[in-house]
Amino acid sequence: MIAFLRTLGYVLILAVLVGLAVWLADNPGQVSLEWWGWRLETSVAILVLGAAVVLAAFAVLYRIWLAVRRAPGRMVGSRRENRRRRGYLALTQGMVAVAAGDAEEARKQVRRADGLLEEPPLTLLLQAQAAQLSGDTRAAEKFFTAMLDKPDTEFLGLRGLLTQALKAKDDKKARDLAERAFRLRPGSDWVAANLLELQVKAGAWADARATLDKAVKNRAVPADEAKHRQVALDYRLSLDASAQGDGGKALKLLRAAHEADPGFAPAAARLADLQLAAGKAGKAVSTVERAWTAAPHPELAEMYWRARGANDALERVRAAQQLAKQNPDHPESHLVLAETALDAQLWGEARRHLQAAAGDTPPARVCRLMAELEESEHKDAEAARSWLVRASMADPDPAWVCGDCGNSVAEWTIVCGNCGGFASFSWRTPPHVLRLMDESVPEPKAISGESEPAPEGSVTDAEPAPAPGR
């Protein structure tokens, strides 16, 4: 399009000139000029042509004069550009040497680039990296520190110093550098991750929560990825608030955590505990039921008995039935119903729910409950022993398992004591090694074996069997 318009312009100019020439040819006219005793008589066309020749000559002379005048500057500029080109080439080769781990070649190229380029910020980073590569941490620190004085290299200098502090395990210095770098570039995911890790390591939970919020706001951390960490920090901050006697703040933080993730059992159980202590049993019941709907957990069941005032075995059976309605198909609901039925000596009810929770490969908890059922209902010690042996071979009970290292703990904690992972625990079955079953141990009876039929109707009408308790 541009070329077409340019061609069109040339054609229009040529048309104007041709038209002017034709007009002058049709109207030659006469021009008479007297100057210093000289007299000139000619036609208008010749006068215009002569003026054009004179102007062209002046234009050529001006261009020659301009070229001569600019020649020294162009020579200097050409020489400078050649130096810059060779300097950037040396800079590139130096970076390649750093990437290849060739410290000697990197130092050689950085000296060459430093001599050719008149822009120290471009070579400071390469000098620092070359010093790091050769193991000269002091020189590297000097170069990184020099980069802090210029706005365009300040962040790179901070990153280099932060990397060195992390390698030296100087957490205090690393944290100060990370905070400065985060203020400078709040959208950097690398800085946000390191700052958060250092704050968590120092136990600065409030600072870590603020950092996480800013990182999400600046899209350095995805919101869905940060959600579980925010909940974990709110729960940990609520523990600190309770320890400091600030019950209102603790309750507010727990509510926020529960709203964000109703399935996080530690927060739900503690929130229900505080609500119960404040005389709000109804709210405690609602909190536990909402958490059970999201993710059933054994800790919630104990809190539910307290909230409903279920003090005897049959009351706990009725409470378990109400709780199980919130998530009726979950194995944990069947296990809670089975345990309360065992306590109430409702053998058929217990067996029915154990069968529902067992699946194709009964987990260890189901096997132990079956051993208890055989012992309590039939006084069958051999069958009970078989189930206990089977329990040792089955999948272990769920626990809080670290997603980073596989460490298993009974109680949730915000930091893994084994690997230091932050908010890395989730409630699931731990990994285990299956052992071969002793052939001398008889195969236990099937879960669905003969048993007392489950009572009809509600548990309130059921009579406990005349067998000893657990």
pLDDT of residue 468: 37
Residue 208 corresponds to which tokens in the numbers above?
């870590």
Decide if 302 contacts 270 (C-beta within 8 A).
Answer: no
Q: What are phi and psi of 149, to 5 degrees?
A: -80, -15
pLDDT of residue 458: 41
pLDDT in tens, the chain (470 residues): 777 788 888 788 878 777 777 776 677 677 777 777 777 777 767 777 777 788 888 888 888 888 787 777 777 667 777 776 776 676 667 666 655 666 677 667 766 766 666 656 667 777 787 887 778 888 889 888 988 988 878 888 898 999 999 999 999 999 999 999 999 999 999 999 999 999 999 999 999 999 999 999 999 999 998 999 999 999 999 999 999 999 999 999 999 999 999 999 999 999 999 999 999 999 999 999 999 999 999 999 999 999 999 999 999 999 999 999 999 999 999 999 999 999 999 999 999 999 999 988 899 999 999 999 999 999 999 999 999 999 999 999 999 999 999 999 999 999 999 999 999 999 999 986 554 444 454 556 556 554 444 444 444 334 444 333 33
Q: 3-state DSSP: the chain helix, strand, coil percent, rounded to 5?
A: 65, 5, 30
Residue 43 corresponds to which tokens in the numbers above?
């036609």
pLDDT of residue 94: 64
| 338/320 Cα distance (integer angstroms) | 9
| 398/352 Cα distance (integer angstroms) | 22
| 315/305 Cα distance (integer angstroms) | 9
| 348/459 Cα distance (integer angstroms) | 12
Helix (H) or strand (E) holding 389: helix 381-393
| 83/75 Cα distance (integer angstroms) | 12
The partner residues of 32 in beta bridges, in order of sequence, read: 41
Angle between helix axes 381-393 and 364-373 (nearest 10 degrees) is 180
**How is the beta sheet containing 408-409 ordered, strand by strand?**
408-409, 399-402, 425-428
* SS3 of residue 420 by DSSP: coil
| 122/95 Cα distance (integer angstroms) | 11
